Structure 1
């Protein structure tokens, strides 16, 4: 099953969101909560629910967690009081993080759909049980943390029943001042890079390149040799073309040609990577 295309439970949530946005009164209710609490001015609050969430997310990107804490906290408090619409808005806002967490939690031999179901359920549980009054700072980060706690617990239970171990690095060290997505991702990426023979670490921009190459290998966009050629060329202590050519028994021109061909293949696959990421 292809993780880049089969995101069934998340696709259903997105389809459902369109239906929620189309229902009479939903936008007015959420808009009323936000304007009434002073989160948004009436003039800047759209009367369409999808557009309203877009405004909240765009301001959150500009202003950071001091703004997102306010509107997420307000909606989570409403959700805690039984307002399903408030919970649904927060779930939609956190859906991209859930998709990334799910994609990075899949291991060889597992069904993507099963992992996605676990993460989606963890997201709902984190939203519905969030202590909005006690944890009002860096709300999005704490939601991700709670989502990862629920996900790791349930995945660990699944692995225990199947006899396959869950990598403890994914669940270890998840304190309030760490990012659970980054912790889980780093452990998975290091293991995947080692298995693929991609050396040079996974820190910062290097990690983004390695993640792309691991995905390209999994999707058979690149061969192992082609991926290694790119990984070696772009690492700090990587060999120059002459050294790489001697190691591979090729001419420097052939090494450059192979690398250029691999880069073109990656560029052609970029739309699929964007969906998977």
Structure 2
């Protein structure tokens, strides 16, 4: 009974938490989707195909129907309704993305509740939210329909929590590694072989170095052509300089440099914008984390080797 009570309370968790820019973005996108004529047409078809969606006109109507089944404890009907959406997610129909977003939306309050349980010192709330939702979208898109047709809500929730915890651990482990590498190599900034920036105020030489670093990064397709200009007080400058140094000494492959940059760099100076790998919130986000994690390893080894050589 306590399990059911806890789960029901999680359905009441706020889905409009203003403390997360990722959640605000998801809510804006959902509002637009619910106003979409195309989405309304797809829901109209669903209302004729599934008994519990009868009369539904918008994606939010579908979410409300499924949530209502859960609140009433109609577990079998709830599983059937969720499986209806999940099957469409794994098919190639025109309503695939709509079904994906709708199934994820059903789980959103639970995801928010689980994200709150993962709050730790030193981890940004929005990073926790982003990791949780990235994991949720991947789990929804890969749910084993035939093997786990019962307890769909609980299965998705547990799989999401496990995946989010793994990706958060890998994410913050490697962020700290990047910071450690940068701190270690900073004394070598005077060596032209190590193109790291000295931690001093901006001057023409520094700005020229930044511009050259960005141009070479664009030429090697490590960053896109619309990457904003760098400044000496921009955290991107340290990271990009570090990555380009590793490329220059052939300690890092171009492909690995691209993975690190695509995950750890933000393409905008706007504080409210989340990193580019988290904007889509699809399964690719978790894969990019894993690739970035692997790509950091040769960078760490290069830093250690440089420290030994400089000693």
Q: TM-score, normalised by structure 2?
A: 0.47
Q: Tell me, which stretches of 5 or more residues in structure 1 are unaligned?
A: 165-277
Structure 1 residue aligned with 2:155, among 125, 135, 142?
142
Report deviation, 1:53. Answer: 2.1
> Corresponding residue for 1:190?
none
Q: What stretches of structure 1 move > 2 A for 4+ residues in a row?
A: 37-40, 158-164
Alpha-carbon distance between aligned partners in 2 of 1:46 and 1:38, rounded to the nearest angstrom: 10
Report deviation, 1:147. Answer: 0.5
> Corresponding residue for 2:79?
69
| Contact 1:126/1:143 (8 A) holds in 2 | yes
- Secondary structure of the 1:136 match is coil
> Corresponding residue for 2:231?
none
- Secondary structure of the 2:19 match is coil
> Corresponding residue for 1:26?
39
Q: Which has the larger radius of gyration?
A: 2
> Corresponding residue for 1:247?
none
Report deviation, 1:61. Answer: 1.1
Where does 1:85-124 land on structure 2 (aligned, <5 Å)? 85-124=98-137
- Secondary structure of the 1:63 match is coil
Report deviation, 1:34. Answer: 4.5
Alpha-carbon distance between aligned partners in 1 of 2:61 and 2:47, rounded to the nearest angstrom: 14
Report deviation, 1:143. Answer: 0.4
Report deviation, 1:87. Answer: 0.4
1:60 aligns to 2:61 (yes or no): no
- Secondary structure of the 2:72 match is helix
Alpha-carbon distance between aligned partners in 2 of 1:88 and 1:78, rounded to the nearest angstrom: 11
| Contact 1:39/1:70 (8 A) holds in 2 | no
Where does 1:249-268 land on structure 2 (aligned, <5 Å)? none
> Corresponding residue for 1:254?
none
Report deviation, 1:31. Answer: 3.7
Alpha-carbon distance between aligned partners in 2 of 1:31 and 1:105, rounded to the nearest angstrom: 38
Alpha-carbon distance between aligned partners in 1 of 2:141 and 2:97, rounded to the nearest angstrom: 9
Report deviation, 1:74. Answer: 0.8
> Corresponding residue for 2:30?
17
Q: 1:58 to 1:39 in 2, by over 3 A?
A: closer
Structure 2 residue aligned with 1:79, among 77, 83, 89?
89
Report deviation, 1:116. Answer: 1.3
1:151 aligns to 2:161 (yes or no): no
Alpha-carbon distance between aligned partners in 2 of 1:161 and 1:120, rounded to the nearest angstrom: 20
Report deviation, 1:140. Answer: 0.6
Q: 1:39 to 1:54 in 2, by over 3 A?
A: closer
Alpha-carbon distance between aligned partners in 2 of 1:37 and 1:47, rounded to the nearest angstrom: 13
| Contact 1:6/1:113 (8 A) holds in 2 | yes
Report deviation, 1:73. Answer: 0.6
Alpha-carbon distance between aligned partners in 1 of 2:120 and 2:33, rounded to the nearest angstrom: 33
> Corresponding residue for 2:48?
35
